[in-house]
Amino acid sequence: MKNNQHASHKNYRSRDRKNSTRQTLEGKVVLVTVKRLGINGEGIGYYKRKIIFIPGALPHEDVLVRVVLEKQKYLEGELVRVKKKSKDRVKPVDRYDVGGIELEHLAYPAQLKFKRDVIKQSLKKYRPKGYPDYQIKKTLGMDEPYHYRNKLQFQIRAGKNGQVQAGLYRPNSHELVDLPTFSTQTDLSMKTIRLICQLLAKWKILPYNEHQETGIIKTVVVRESFANHQLQVVFISRTKKISQINNLITDLVSQQPAVVSVMQNVNPRQTSLIWGEQTLRLYGQDHLIEKIAGNEYHLSARAFFQLNTPQTEVLYEQVKQALDLQAGESLVDAYCGAGTIGIYLAKEASAVYGMDVTPEAITDAQKNAELAGLDNAHYVVGTAEDLLAKWTKAGIEMDALVVDPPRVGLDDKLIKTILKYRPNKFVYVSCNPSTLAADLVQLTQAYDVDYIQPVDMFPQTARTEAVVKLTLKDY
């Protein structure tokens, strides 16, 4: 019995020593050689044969890293110092610990190479049929990869001294970083959000406090038309009533004449979702007007529109080339938003059928088709999987399909619907290489991937857009 107790104590001590060894890595500064970039733009290296993720580190760099988290299969590190620099390291314009600028320290040509490589990494992970032979073209970038965002969406909170702050959260936290400058946003939108902060303080309209569930203003959205540099401001509030809001608006439009629309979106819930269900017009028109390739688009507050206006025409031209519509062919535009892709292609199609689950977006799409003088574009509220089945049964031919889904990728029901009805031409516009690669596992049962064309819609970030040309297999 004593021997068994002794053996048991030895086992406990052995486990304690192992646990102690693991724990001692956290806080330790180690030297790491960075091998590559991960899908989120973080440097990846190895320490004691364990993978370590290091935000801010670049391939081929020797870096000193503080271990901030140790798990059984990986480590997370904090960059302390770069001992050997990459030739592609540049001085970033911004110095904030927030998302949206995670690759600003990487030279722009190297960013474009990385975005092509991210697609390769995702394909290798999910292994859709034939993936080693896919043609992945060079990323199409921008001449000026700053000040390109047409929408600013900043959280509003009270600072330590009571001042109103507007900005983004630190990664993996709800700690707000106040952003007096931000180089991917336009100067006009940044000046406007700082003015709004001053006016919120002046009229004592309280920022939201998520811990106490008090205050009014949660988020402010500023959308800019690049066609005429007019602005729409949306206040996302906890309550419908906002005392002194009319006084604030009077000051705002007086001091910033570019503001032609002020809206309020009410979101009373404690949720990570930004938008609520109710949107109200407080001042001016209820939309902005944007132009792409001569077409005019009305954009309501919640309507989806590509965030990079200068690069949107580049993206849509790639979609047009990939579809290569011929006379008499019809096009289905799933996840159509304000109808921008379908309207861009409508002159090449016999008919365009679009759908979206957001009613305001469909209202915009219908208006935009009217503005473009189109009588062959039809837009309906609903899900793509339901409407594709309904339209096909009604005898509507679906010669070509374009999908531009959110980051979660295609709904599984929609994939099954596509595989059932199998349009001859199919273009997938992806904003997430991981969900694209996962969706291709199923889609390549019926389709060949002709090529993938990356388009950089989000310079200085790790996000990658891609246009994928798929062709129905010839059985």
Q: Which of 67, 331, 398, 431 is catalytic?
A: 431
- The residues with which 307 forms a beta bridge, in sequence order, are none
Q: How many residues does the chain have?
A: 475
- Asked if 188 and 224 count as a contact pair (C-beta separation under 8 A), the reply is yes
- Catalytic (active site) residue 336: no
**What distances in angstroms separate CA 292 from CA 151, 297, 308, 345, one per listed residue?**
16, 8, 11, 12
Q: CA-CA distances (angstroms) from residue 357 to 2, 125, 241, 411?
A: 71, 31, 28, 13
Of residues 258, 253, 199, 198, the one with CA closest to residue 223? 258
C-alpha span between 180 and 182 (Å, rounded): 7
Which of 407, 152, 174 has the alpha carbon at shortest distance from 270? 174
Distance CA 99, CA 269 (A): 24
Q: How many CB atoms lie within 10 A of CB 168?
A: 19
Contacts 24+ apart (CB under 8 A), 241-249: 242/205, 242/216, 242/217, 243/205, 244/203, 244/204, 244/205, 245/203, 245/205, 245/282, 246/282, 247/203, 248/196, 248/199, 248/200, 248/202, 248/203, 248/205, 249/282, 249/283
Mind giving me the DSSP string for 67-124?
Answer: EEEE-SSEEEEEEEEEEE--TTB---S----STT-TTTTB-HHHHHHHHHHHHHHHHH
Q: How many CB atoms lie within 10 A of CB 405?
A: 20
Classify residue 287 as exposed, middle or buried by CB count within 10 Å of its CB (0-12, 13-18, 19+). Answer: buried
Contact between 214 and 163 (Cβ < 8 Å)? no
Virtual torsion, Cα 436, 439, 444, 449, nearest 10 deg: -10
Report the catalytic residues: 431
